[in-house]
Structure 1
């Protein structure tokens, strides 16, 4: 979802003579590199405003020299801010009638961007209003698109000034109107599409470069689906940096729907127009009427079809199932499922995707739609419908190379608190047959591709030098967030891995995350220490790796006293080299390596105090079932029932803060430093309490006398 517009980014390459030459060959809105061809998209032209052919005029040498001098003046940094604003205003006045030619010139366009960033709002709006008829053509040009975006970004900076708000609103209104007249051409152009998305952002009131809405990275989407990051729908509107234009947003979207309705079949499978529709859908959350209208048009049905009890026509269902196998529409469908109201989501699940989930899971585009569908499930009933089709297909889905579907199912089961044990059993059975030892489960998931591409799976072994599978790593991280009673085969497997394999996994970023998630789980301290003990002798080596340093820190906080001392002793030998790395100073400070080197006995005492404090904290705030043991580590067997790992992390932070003076947390010794003061405070408190009691008795007697009278 949120496919990156790579061709747009290519427009930001370094200056060259060929680029400058190509910028002079711009004809009818198309570039010499063929990024947009008018003839190819002529069928998109609207009857109301057919696009005119424009031939780019040559820029005279005097104008070129003038803007070159301005650029040199700015680069010299000899001009203060006030003078710069005056120069920018004068220079923009010189662009009158030549805005299109200057904005689409590769060299001068950079100077023009600087002028628009530093000028006052009056000159900015005057420039845009002067070139308003050519704005769509500027937006569709490789160089001009950056000028258009700079102008939109500069407009956003002035929205806090209410004195000029109406001026900015009038200018934005003019831009929206001229864009609507040329909407389809702009949407289908790689540069114009980006400018249009920025215009929508301005109207919505969000940052133009906000990653929340623009070209969202697949890693961000995956983190949301696997519960590693809060979804956009659950977050507040922190990305809103200014007040937007809600009426203009509705006006622009309405114009978009009216202008594209007859060409929607083509537009919804176009790469660049799909990106525009995606961001428009996200911005319409909260405007139910407009949102449902857009979704119905994109899906090719009526809004009434989404009402509960109505039936979506069979031909529409078949068409949607076919469309989600198209790259551009599959991204679009993912966003539709993300923003769809509950009733609409339920209708799509039951009437469109039901009975097609496994088929779509096998498709290279459709499987992402299935992931989105699973990730946005609202309740256990919906999860049950999806489990009926996919629950027995874990092995088939993994063999087809679609592990993201499995990861989404596991994450959804955790979020909705349903099918947890079934998910774990199905995953273990997919990689380990009933007659095999469960010790092979974790290694096979770590190397999904290697295992499922192996013909002789029974004799598969840990592949040396092969990078750990990203989705396999994420699946295991999710698994170790389950309660230990569901994941015993996974706990047994990771704790039984050979020392060499554990070390190799710890050096890999994905493998290190799996080890850390296991150490953060509610597995027994004995199983955790079994794994940590296999890394003895290698902690110094691991600490030199950025990802490995986190594993070392996690091993330390999870270990008992003897293992902690062994870890610090190893780091002490490489403290000089470790201190020169990026992560070294933090690790040295966190584990108090220098304190161990200087005074080992005091270091042991501090660690014992921390352990005692943690046990006392658990005894005080934990459940009545928890009984701490004397020799347990920070994550002892008995402390596992206190809370989830996130809460334990908070506990540790509070404990660490309370140990700044090397006194146990919740210890009474901290109050014995000034016994005289404490004694005086005690006397004062006792006297005050006694006085209060006497006063209260007097008041009570007085009330009785009044009552009797």
Structure 2
């Protein structure tokens, strides 16, 4: 679960309870079969429908053997011969074919090229077959460009200015494609055909619910986009990987990564952008969900193709759509800010937006999402212009709003220079208490990370946070706990800090950032003044255990401070090793320890080594640190772990 979703759940405990469970496709398909209905869309025989249900069941179970997997794919796709259009027009058949095509043989894929091409106009607008068209386009594009990939990613640098010449890249030899030259050529030509067809029908496809997504897929394939921000990679449905570590994905990608693509592909992206930008209704496109999504993909795509065109598109969006020159504020910003301080419910937010105190872009959620994409792709000069026209002197108001605070987070996430960060920080530095009160703590996370990244306003951030948390000289040593809980000191019972309590995920991330600051003394000293029992509660928590990482790896955390922490936990390493999150904290502490300290830790663990085997995580620690080897031959163990 992302940080943003977790924050929403924390602020509204009923949100998780009321959230609908995602639909189970296979279960629903079986319900249709029991009713004697063979799926939605085109008609399919009962025999074929049951066959596809069995195939989906087999996929869900997982097939690890590669030969068996390929045999299944070949058999199923061979079964669709002569009935391709009818099968992909059925909801169940469409899903199965869509899942199998990425693993299809060259012959099967090219057969689908021939079947789909004559019927593209109808298929692109169909609610089922359009998904197969997208999949075929993606697979064809991947196979056509696979030999161009060299292991080197085409990644935009945040440090690169608008007028800077990109750094020279070391040329690497292209890898050998596993497909024949003939198949690669056919895939290349088919991908170009589909994309040109989509471009020629741009005026119709933009407004079509299903064809619009084919336009997006075309842009992604042509520009080499691997994943969009917030997009998860599709897992291999044949192999179910089970791991103990469940690391949540980053809520927002900071850098776009692109594959290498031919120049012909890039020229088509440029043509897409130019044709859309001259539309008379271009300025209205950001304000609808369907067209806003397309423009977001277009911005990510054009960034890898033409920097000048990217700048021109952003400027056009900013001046004609986000904050046009003829837009005039109807209210007094200063007075409106006072209204927006703390208890902003949806009605208050709506009334303030409609009062005209904010630019038009903030009146529409689709437009706001496009603005966030613009912030990600903008270079420094363009970023400054967006900030000046949309955000300046409005950050306090925006940061306290339920929907718009995420846009403020993106603003800070994409800030790369000190001169930009300082005025933004100063505008919000006195409003941290308001942000805590309204629950928009994700803004504090983005500010903390921006201060770390840009190396500015770090001390001021800590001071402002202390003020918001009501930290006094008497309770200064509990500063890290107040940050972890993101609660003012008057709401924290200090006497119960040696028992389990709730740690806010945003508080954990903020404290990790502070420990990486150039002067982390307040956080470091506060942690060292806690009792071992209080530290144990933090390090044994899912979110608190990452504090051990930051403390042990912090660039400006002194060696003496780490030594003190290691000795402070003496007698508690057994307890840490037995829990899931405590064991990973123990590993980080062990890595940071000197050889002498490692021996002390191992002596404690070996003293009751049988206890380690009582839990799954204790057994893992015993194996990783070789407790048995330490007990049998300490000198050999020391040689093995010396310098590790």
State TM-score, norm by structure 2: 0.71
SS in 2 for 1:595: helix
Contact 1:432 1:441 in 2 (8 A): no
* Residue 441 of structure 1, CA deviation: 0.7
Q: Please, which of 183, 186, 197 is the counterpart of residue 205 of structure 2?
A: 183
Q: Which residue in 2 is equivalent to 1:149?
A: 134
Change (3 A) 1:541 1:197: farther
Contact kept, 8 Å, 1:296 with 1:302, in 2: the verdict is: no
Displacement after TM superposition at 1:428 (Å): 2.5
Aligned: 1:131 with 2:119: yes
Match of 1:245 in 2: 265
1:93-242 map, 5 Å: 93-95=82-84, 99=85, 101-110=86-95, 112-113=97-98, 116=101, 117-118=104-105, 119-138=107-126, 141=127, 143-160=128-145, 161=181, 163-164=185-186, 167-173=189-195, 175-177=197-199, 180-186=202-208, 189=209, 194-207=213-226, 210=227, 214=231, 220-222=249-251, 231-232=254-255, 237=258, 239-240=259-260
Instruction: Output the CA distance in 2 between the equivalents of 1:2 and 1:242.
Output: 37
Which residue is equivalent to 1:482? 517
Which residue of the other structure, out of 498, 509, 515, is the alignment partner of 2:548? 515
| Residue 290 of structure 1: how far off its partner (Å) | 3.7
Q: CA 1:278–1:319 in structure 2 vs 1: closer, same or farther (change >3 Å)?
A: farther
Aligned to 1:288: 307
Change (3 A) 1:241 1:588: farther
| CA-based RMSD | 4.5
Q: Distance in 1 between matches of 2:403 and 2:219?
A: 27
- State how many pairs are aligned: 543
Question: For 1:158-194, what per-residue CA distance to the aligned partner results, in whole angstroms no more than 9, with x for missing partners?
Answer: 41545325631453135414752432443xx4x6665
Q: Measure, in 2, the Cα distance between the counterparts of 1:72 and 1:215.
A: 27
Match of 1:340? 378
Post-superposition offset of 1:220: 4.8
Spell out the pairing of 1:404-483 with structure 2 (5 A cutoff): 404-448=442-486, 451-452=487-488, 462=497, 464-483=499-518
Contact 1:299/1:320 (8 A) holds in 2: no
Q: Which one of 23, 26, 29 corresponds to residue 16 of structure 1?
A: 29
What is the deviation of 1:379? 1.9
Tell me what 1:354 maps to: 392
Cα gap change, 1:154/1:492 in structure 2, threshold over 3 Å: closer, same or farther?
closer
- SS of 1:509's equivalent in the other structure is coil
Unaligned runs of 5+ in 2: 6-18, 60-65, 146-180, 235-246, 331-355
- TM-score (normalised: structure 1): 0.65
Shift of 1:66: 6.8
- Change beyond 3 A, Cα 1:59–1:596: closer
1:495 aligns with 2:528: yes
| Contact 2:205 2:212 (8 Å CA) reproduced | no
Instruction: Tell me by how many angstroms 1:422 deviates.
Output: 1.9
Contact 1:159 1:168 in 2 (8 A): no
| 3-state SS in 2 of match to 1:436 | helix
Deviation (angstroms), 1:146: 3.6
- Which residue in 2 is equivalent to 1:504? 537
Quick one: distance in 1 between partners of 2:437 and 2:498?
18
Q: What is the CA-CA distance between 1:393 and the residue it aligns to?
A: 2.5
Q: 1:561 to 1:70 in 2, by over 3 A?
A: closer
In the alignment, is the contact (CA less than 8 A) between 2:375 and 2:383 conserved in 1? yes
SS in 1 for 2:543: helix
> Aligned partners of 1:280 and 1:575: how far apart in 2?
59
Q: Does 1:315 align with 2:305?
A: no
Q: Displacement of 1:438 after TM fit?
A: 1.1
Give the aligned partner of residue 243 of structure 2: none
Q: 2:426 aligns with which of 379, 385, 388?
A: 388
What is the SS of the residue equivalent to 1:508? coil
For the 8 Å contact 2:4–2:251, the answer to whether it is kept is no
1:268 maps to 2:286: yes
Separation in 1 of the partners of 2:521 and 2:67?
70
- Quote how far apart the aligned CAs of 1:444 are: 0.7
Give 1:573 shift.
4.8
Q: Which has the higher contact order (CA 8 A, sep 6+)?
A: 2
Shift in Å, 1:315: 3.3
Query: Structure 1 residues 103 and 461, CA, compared in 2 at 3 Å: closer, same or farther?
Result: same
Shift of 1:533: 3.5
Aligned-partner Cα distance in 1 for 2:470–2:53: 67
- Distance in 1 of aligned mates of 2:281 and 2:320: 13
Cα–Cα, structure 1 residues 462 and 280, in superposed 2: closer, same or farther, change >3 Å? farther
Highest CA radius of gyration, 1 or 2? Answer: 1
Displacement of 1:223: 7.0
Which residue of the partner structure matches residue 540 of structure 1? Answer: 574
2-structure distance, mates of 1:78, 1:579: 39
Q: Residues 567 and 325 (structure 1 numbering): CA distance in 2 closer, same or farther, change over 3 Å? A: farther
Moved more, 426-435 or 373-382: 426-435
Cα pair 2:548 2:589 within 8 Å, conserved = no
Deviation at 1:563, TM superposition (A): 4.3
In structure 2, C-alpha distance between the alignment counterparts of 1:213 and 1:604, rounded to whole Å: 45
Cα distance in 2 between the residues matched to 1:131 and 1:14? 31
User: Unaligned stretches of 5+ in structure 1?
Assistant: 27-55, 225-230, 306-310, 611-654, 657-709
